[in-house]
Amino acid sequence: MNILIVDDDPGFRMMLQSLLLLEGWIVEAAENGRDALERMSQRSHDLVISDIYMPVMDGIKFHRAVRAIPKYERLPFLFISAYDDEHTMSAVQDPSIEGFLKKGRPVNVMKAWINYLVTPEQDRPKVPPGK
């Protein structure tokens, strides 16, 4: 499985990339939405894990741009953020956004979300992880 991590914090990108590589997944990282779109034009991905607040192109604008690409209109997205305030939570209420996870949660919660999102929709449990 190919996972694209999009986050402007180099330390977080490296830590998450290392954790996911240990699971045997192929992982690529980008520092913002524009960089991620460039990488997506060169290689296919099965899942995107994206921060919301980033310079150049934030996660919400990046998500909209990805959804406009026909082959990626159903690509699973897991948004992550250090914030879970009202503004952030309202930004991720779009029905085309499959998941949100606050940074700092245990690794097993992130893995549960990844496994949930890469499972075909008809085979997913009715309740997402952590709900």
- The stretch 95-104 carries a mean pLDDT of 69
Please tell us whether the domain made up of 2-123 is placed in CATH 3.40.50.2300: yes
Q: In the structure encoding, which two tokens stand for residue 17, read together?
A: 């990339």
pTM of the model: 0.86
Q: Could you state, in order of their start, the residue ranges of all structural domains in the chain? A: 2-123
Q: What percent of the chain has pLDDT over 90?
A: 37
pLDDT of residue 91: 59
pLDDT of residue 60: 86
Query: ∠ CA(88), CA(119), CA(42), 5° rounding?
Result: 75
pLDDT of residue 95: 57
What secondary structure, in 3-state letters, does the chain show?
CEEEEECCCHHHHHHHHHHHHHCCCEEEEECCHHHHHHHHHHCCCCEEEEECCCCCCCHHHHHHHHHCCHHHCCCCEEEEECCCCHHHHHHCCCCCCCEEEECCCCHHHHHHHHHHHHCCHHHCCCCCCCC
